Amino acid sequence: MKENRVSQTGPLTDDGLVQLLTPTGERTPHPELDARVAHLDADALRAMYRDMVLVRRFDTEATSLQRQGELALFAQSLGQEAAQIGSAHAMTARDHVFPSYREHGVAHARGVDMADVLRLFRGVDHGGWDPVAHGFHLYTLVIGSHTLHATGYAMGLQRDGLVGTGDAERDSAVVVYFGDGATAQGDVNEALVFAAVNNAPVVFFCQNNQWAISEPTTKQARVPLADRGPGFGVPSVRVDGNDVLATYAVTQWALERARSGGGPTFVEAFTYRMGAHTTSDDPTRYRSSAEEEYWRRRDPIDRLRLHLEQVGELPAEFVAQVADDADRLGERIRTEVRAMGRPSPASMFDHVYATPHSVVDAERAWFERYEASFDAGSTSEGSHR
């Protein structure tokens, strides 16, 4: 009997990671992918650097706002900027993204106003932006469920004749972002089956940030997460998720396959969640400062900065301008979040269905009676809230 061998390496190995920039910023050649980044000139790399710095500033500002009571909760993308900005820069306006809840770098690159991202975290909105206008779906907090939505959307693109036509102005694809923990969720496995058998134009972009709240990836898998793809019939790649050039090149490759009718790809971006899971979490309870320090030395922004410095393409005026832009972004977000209105609690019933529904109407009526029962004399800004 010839058995299929199970990989002997665990999910935290760095075996087979595609890398184009070393942690100290040197460009390493890659025979298949060099051509995919050859057109990226210094301006394009500086644009990636700027996006990464702005998103990190957004993270810091939003965390402070949560600490000051302005947001209910916040989930940082700290440490995952290269995975997000690199992959997002590989998309076209026609591609459609399904994010989970910490894809702030992708949101920014898709042109979503970063203040709007915080509407959900302040609890004043179910979303905050128009998914169609940005090709960027609303954040999904139900782990893995949106991989099914993404696969269904990708199958819709096939039926609309937007895949494999050979017309670069027409062909489109879907990218779905999810975490290492999500790969253990049934929905993700079902989505992979559907995507494979339907040859759906979807890129499964797994950010293996090594933690699912307090559970390490070693509690989710015995093998590298990318090994899961081929079992479903979905080719997979492992990429250094802290290398913005590598995530760009690999995503561009996977998107081209998808748009041209080549089917789904599973990309595992090996990265690290440098911050807490959310503002409700305290990672010092379950991981060591030595581990955090190891990854601090592999910071994705430092890597691109070092590279640009080595090739003499990071002028001090540019760095100062980006720092200034980041300050202004922080100030604007702070002001806009504080000014966000207070929606009527009953508005939560407004968008449950596209058309009126008798059960929702009954629930709204009950809720309004309940609210009114607290203080007949008060306005809708009642003191019980």
Nearer Cβ to ligand TPP, position 188 or 326? 188
Number of H helices, E strands in the chain: 14, 7
Q: What sign does the dihedral 65-70-75-77 (CA atoms) show?
A: negative
Nearer Cβ to ligand TPP, position 172 or 220? 220
User: Cα-flanking dihedrals φ and ψ of residue 27, to 5°?
Assistant: -80, 120
Q: Is 102 in the site for ligand TPP (CB under 6 A)?
A: yes
Q: Is 209 in the site for Mg ion (CB under 5 A)?
A: yes
Q: Is 103 in the site for ligand TPP (CB under 6 A)?
A: no
Check 119, 277, 303, 307 and give the catalytic one. 277
Among 79, 128, 135, 179, binds ligand TPP (CB under 6 A): 179
Q: Which residues of 69-99 are buried (b: 16+ CB within 10 A; e: fewer)?
A: ebbeebbbbbbbbbbbbbbbbbbeeebbbbb
Q: Is 99 in the site for ligand TPP (CB under 6 A)?
A: no
C-alpha angle 129/259/79, rounded to 5°?
55
139 catalytically annotated: no
CB of 269 to Mg ion, least distance (A): 11
Q: Is 365 in the site for ligand TPP (CB under 6 A)?
A: no
Residue nearest to ligand TPP (CB): 179
Q: Is 273 in the site for ligand TPP (CB under 6 A)?
A: yes
d(CA 30, CA 240): 13
177 catalytically annotated: no
Q: Is 201 in the site for Mg ion (CB under 5 A)?
A: no
CB of 235 to Mg ion, least distance (A): 22
Please choose, from the candidates 194, 313, 250, 202, the residue with its C-alpha nearest in 3D space to the C-alpha of residue 19: 250
Name residues contacting ligand TPP, limited to 195-214 (CB under 6 A).
209, 211-213
Radius of gyration of the chain (CA): 22
Among 59, 116, 180, 240, binds Mg ion (CB under 5 A): 180
Q: Using CB under 6 A, which of the segments 21-29, 49-57, 135-143, 289-297 binds ligand TPP? A: 135-143
CB of 350 to Mg ion, least distance (A): 33
CB of 260 to Mg ion, least distance (A): 31
Query: Do 217 and 11 touch, CB atoms closer than 8 A?
Result: yes
The CA-based diameter of the chain, rounded to the nearest angstrom, is: 80
Cα distances (angstroms) measured from residue 282 to each of 227, 278, 285, 288? 31, 8, 6, 12
Check 67, 286, 296, 328 and give the catalytic one. 286
149 catalytically annotated: no
Q: Is 180 in the site for ligand TPP (CB under 6 A)?
A: yes
C-alpha angle 303/249/260, rounded to 5°?
165
Give the binding site for ligand TPP (CB under 6 A).
102, 141-143, 178-182, 209, 211-213, 273, 277
Give the binding site for Mg ion (CB under 5 A).
179-180, 209, 212
Q: Catalytic positions, please? A: 273, 277, 286
